[in-house]
Amino acid sequence: MWIAVVTIAVIALIAGLALSFASRKLPSDPADLVEQINDLLPQTQCAQCGYAGCRPYAAAIANDHEAINLCPPGGDDTLRRLATLLGKDVIPLAEAPPEGHAVAVIDESLCIGCMHCRTACPVDAIVGAQQLMHTVIEQECTGCKLCIAPCPVDCISMRTV
Amino acid sequence: MTELFVILIATVLVNNFVLVRFLGLCPFMGVSRNLEAAAGMSLATGFVLTLSSATAYLLHEYVLVPLELEYLRTITFILVIAASVQFTEIMVRRVSPLLDQVLGIYIPLIATNCAVLGVALLNVQQSTGFVQSVFYGLGAAGGFALVLVMFAAIRERLDAADIPAPFRGTAIALMTAGIMSLAFIGFSGMARL
């Protein structure tokens, strides 16, 4: 009987040790780091970094050593937090796009108040109500251009400030 | 070589674990709503099946038989299966976070998949060597994957079909499974283990 008990115990012990070894020694979880970086990014999904959205950019930072200074909407704050998280030096933001810091501007004489751009704005920088014209809060706008495509009357343009 | 091929044919088609032996029906019904989850589930289950039937064979042959503890087979295999499921979960999370999101809650369910225990038990009863038992597990995994993916594809089609009200949902799924099982009975006698 004791042989049986000891055998089972030894098999369980070996399985447990193998599992704990596997969970510790396998390459550390990249998903966790991607999550953490993703949490720091502004979630504007503006793609100005050259990736399809914030999460792909986070994955590129975590896995492919992409530069951390490609996020204009996040600005210096995000850059500093990313640098702290990853133990990198704070570097200036990558060159602003050629048009400088762009903001969206709504041509209020053309606006029909359809709300499409307000729904699309990731940072709630567009105010306005149904059937009333909308406008952009300049300080809040990150220049992500996501409001341009949904506008049915093409009254939104980008302007450098 | 021929023997290994016969084992594969026998486990994938002739003695298909789901449709002929009726093992592992819960994931067959539960995870077959869409093709992607079904494919991922069959990959994960296949990994566990192969891993656990190999380790179960080794344990049985080199630990349980020499110590004359064959009566502990079932509990030992349950232990081995639980450990390999846990190992698979760790692997999936590390290797493919995307697959982890799709399969997350289903992976622990593999531990209670009776096909895994069934394959390990049947395996030590009839297999003659380590390579054969690995192929036995591999074949079982292939058979499981084949029917699960086929069934998921059929169910995706059924979602769009105009089914009489009393048969909608699980009822038509069970009938489909029955018809598929009938089709697989057609393979019986093709290869013998």
Report the relative pairing of strands A135-136 and A126-127 from DSSP bridges. Answer: antiparallel
Cβ A19–B67 below 8 Å, yes or no? no
Does the beta carbon of B161 lie under 8 angstroms from any beta carbon of chain A?
Answer: no
Please provide residue A103's backbone torsions phi and psi, each rounded to the nearest 5 degrees: -130, 155
Residue type, A28: S
Rg, C-alpha atoms of chain A? 24
Give the confidence band of A28 by pLDDT, cuts at 50, 70, 90. Answer: low
Cβ of A15 and B83 within 8 Å? yes
DSSP string for residues in A128-142: --TTS--EE-TTT--
Q: What is the DSSP string of A42-87?
A: ------TTSSSSHHHHHHHHHHH---S---TTTHHHHHHHHHHHHT
Domains of chain A: 29-95 (1.10.15.40), 97-161 (3.30.70.20)
Q: What is the mean pLDDT of residues A7-20?
A: 90
What is the pLDDT at residue A26?
66
Is B165 part of the contact surface with chain A (CB cutoff 8 Å)? Answer: no
Q: What is the pLDDT of residues B177-193, one digit of tens each?
A: 999 999 998 888 877 66
Min Cα distance A35 → chain B (Å) is 11
The SS3 call for residue B105 is coil
Is the entire prediction scored with pTM above 0.90? no
Of B64, B87, B97, the CB nearest to A19: B87
pLDDT tens digits for range B5-43: 888 888 888 888 888 888 888 888 888 888 888 888 888
Does residue B102 sit at the A interface (CB-CB below 8 Å)?
A: no
Q: What pLDDT, on the 0 to 100 scale, is given for residue A30? A: 61
How far is residue B165's CA from residue B150's CA, in Å, rounded to a whole number? 24
- Chain B residues within 8 A of A16 when measuring between CB atoms: 83
Are A8 and B87 inside 8 Å of each other by CB?
no
Residue of A nearest to B96 (CA): A31
Q: What is the mean pLDDT of chain A?
A: 82
pLDDT (tens digit, 9 = 90+) per residue, B100-147?
777 777 788 888 888 889 888 888 888 678 888 899 899 999 999 999
Question: B66 CB near a chain A CB, below 8 Å?
Answer: no
User: Which secondary structure element, helix H or strand E, spans residue B9, and what is its range?
Assistant: helix B2-9
Task: Tell me if B69 and A19 make a contact (CB, 8 A cut-off).
Answer: no
The answer to whether B63 contacts chain A (CB < 8 Å) is yes
Cα separation, A91 vs A66, in Å, equals 13
Give the start-to-end residue ranges of the domains of chain B.
2-185
The ipTM is 0.70
Using pLDDT thresholds of 50, 70 and 90, give the confidence band for residue A17: very high
